[in-house]
């Protein structure tokens, strides 16, 4: 694995004709956050219809299937499988019928006490259909003694811990909530309907708004619940807001490093600008003489541009990525593993032969892909290869909803930078400092979750449970 696996994507659309169409396009825009499975639930006011399957958004949702998802409200989910089984039962949204009617849930994140809550529910007679910790919420809501769905959701959320963005859909309402740490991004947008009414959309990334023509309003606050209900008519034309939990904001820094699309705005910053600034900071910290700067596409492009700008060294596309390569099977031999890298990346030998080059990438996880990239550049004739990483060394796994290797698999957690350099075969190896990373975001004093770099996990989150939500 070259990178940490993406988180999942969630979207919710309310009071828009053919809401499922907007959910479809939003999921398409956020396909980078999950390619294993996708699903949409839509409500026409009297019933909820759900269609989901494994595969990409465009393969699952044909015109015929989208026509079955009628209604003015819908929610959707892209899944990147992590722990748990890769089966239809583990796709989202999760749908259930209970005493108040029907409900569907989409979830991005990880409930860190999911194992304990699930066992408690099983001991009380609950039967689970999936391996998802998201399903805990269905049972907690159904068993709650509260009278309204709003109060039941709040009651259920009070019994779980972790990092999450939830979107709940009933037959007539929609709810969106972010955990009190604000680890996962979630934004609110609005849509002007042709009849003059206002529709709403919430999504993991703002790039979804651009595609469907929605106007960005604001980020959902940490610990906030938004209630979309036709019964509310508010003067500011926004959904009802309840601050369910006292916020203790620690947004995930890796959204800027790798997860989010460059054209998205997350946590108050444009992702492309942040990554470009990381390259500028990298050039300030690592001054190297070379003939050219080459990005590992596509993850290193923005940082390489920043490095080139700050250093004055020419930017070149020395590695070309084949965008039409899908997932390949796990190959058992070294030769086949090398071929897997070459399927995706090919060097321009005429450009880099007999040159000293600086290669920019966003992270090193196991080091195996970096090693292969250095090898193919060396075979293409590069004289010296300096590998620079636009983030600090990744020394800790994530337990807040990202599929990451165990610590013993993280090369920088177990080897010195000198030994990592020797393993991957580069002439030099450098990482951006944590201070440089925070300067890139203009957040030197703002708390962010960077446990993957410093092992300082948030609050009292347990680290015992793997993520099975996404």
Determine whether 40 is exposed, middle or buried from the number of CB atoms within 10 Å of its CB (0-12, 13-18, 19+). buried
Q: Pinpoint the alpha helices (H) of 345-450.
A: 349-352, 368-379, 411-414, 417-424, 434-440
CA 455, 460, 461, 463 torsion-angle sign: positive
Angle of CA points 290, 293, 299, to nearest 5°: 150
Sign of CA dihedral 140, 91, 76, 113: positive
How far apart, in whole angstroms, are the C-alpha atoms of residue 256 and residue 297?
Answer: 16
Given 8, 165, 252, 449, the catalytic residue: 8
150 cis-preceded (ω within 30 degrees of 0): no
* DSSP one-letter code for 33: G
> Which DSSP helix (H) or strand (E) runs through 51?
strand 48-54
Can you tell me which residue has the tokens 């990744």? 394
Instruction: List the structure tokens of 438.
Output: 């925070």
Report the distance separating Cα 77 and Cα 8, nearest Å: 7
Distance CA 455, CA 51 (A): 39
Q: If we measure between CA atoms, which residue out of 212, 180, 211, 183 comes closest to residue 199?
A: 212
Query: Six-digit token pair at 445?
Result: 């004093």
For 123, the token pair is 């001991």
Structure tokens at 310: 């700050």
Active site residue 252: no
Residues 6+ apart with CB under 8 A from 195: none
The answer to whether 395 touches 452, Cβ cutoff 8 Å, is: yes
- Catalytic residue numbers, as ranges: 8
């Amino acid at each position: 694995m070259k990178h940490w696996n993406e988180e999942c994507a969630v979207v919710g659309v309310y009071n828009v004709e053919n809401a499922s169409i907007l959910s479809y396009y939003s999921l398409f825009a956020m396909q980078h956050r999950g390619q294993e499975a996708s699903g949409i639930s839509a409500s026409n006011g009297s019933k909820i219809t759900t269609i989901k399957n494994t595969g990409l958004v465009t393969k699952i949702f044909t015109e015929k299937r989208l026509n079955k998802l009628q209604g003015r409200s819908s929610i959707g989910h892209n899944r990147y499988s992590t722990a748990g089984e890769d089966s239809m039962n583990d796709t989202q949204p999760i749908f259930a019928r209970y005493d108040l009617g029907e409900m569907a849930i989409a979830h991005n994140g990880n409930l860190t006490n999911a194992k304990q809550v699930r066992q408690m529910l099983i001991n009380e007679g609950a039967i689970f259909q999936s391996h998802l910790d998201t399903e805990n919420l269905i049972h907690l809501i159904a068993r709650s003694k509260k009278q309204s769905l709003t109060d039941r959701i709040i009651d259920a959320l009070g019994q779980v811990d972790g990092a999450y963005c939830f979107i709940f859909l009933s037959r007539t309402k929609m709810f969106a909530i972010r955990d009190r740490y604000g680890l996962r991004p979630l934004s609110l947008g609005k849509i002007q309907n042709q009849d003059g009414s206002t529709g709403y959309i919430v999504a993991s990334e703002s790039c979804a708004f651009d595609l469907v023509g929605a106007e960005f309003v604001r980020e959902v606050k940490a610990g906030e619940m938004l209630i979309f209900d036709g019964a509310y008519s508010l003067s500011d034309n926004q959904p009802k807001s309840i601050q369910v939990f006292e916020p203790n904001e620690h947004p995930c820094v890796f959204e800027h490093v790798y997860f989010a699309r460059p054209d998205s705005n997350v946590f108050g910053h444009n992702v492309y600008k942040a990554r470009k600034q990381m390259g500028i900071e990298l050039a300030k910290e690592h001054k190297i003489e070379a003939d050219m700067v080459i990005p590992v596409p596509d993850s290193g492009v923005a940082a390489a541009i920043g490095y080139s700008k700050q250093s004055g060294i020419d930017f070149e596309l020395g590695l070309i990525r084949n965008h039409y390569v899908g997932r390949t099977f796990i190959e058992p031999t070294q030769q086949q593993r090398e071929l897997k890298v070459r399927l995706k990346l090919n060097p321009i030998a005429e450009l880099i032969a007999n040159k000293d080059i600086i290669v920019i990438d966003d992270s090193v996880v196991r080091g195996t892909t970096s090693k292969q990239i250095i090898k193919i550049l060396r075979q293409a004739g590069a004289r010296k290869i300096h590998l620079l990483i636009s983030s600090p060394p990744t020394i800790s796994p994530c337990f807040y909803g990202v599929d990451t290797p165990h610590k013993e698999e993280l090369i920088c957690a177990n080897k010195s930078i000198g030994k990592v350099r020797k393993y991957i075969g580069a002439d030099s190896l450098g990482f951006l400092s944590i201070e440089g990373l925070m300067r890139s975001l203009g957040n030197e004093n703002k708390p962010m979750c960077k446990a993957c770099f410093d092992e300082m996990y948030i609050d009292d989150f347990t680290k015992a449970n793997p993520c099975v939500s996404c």
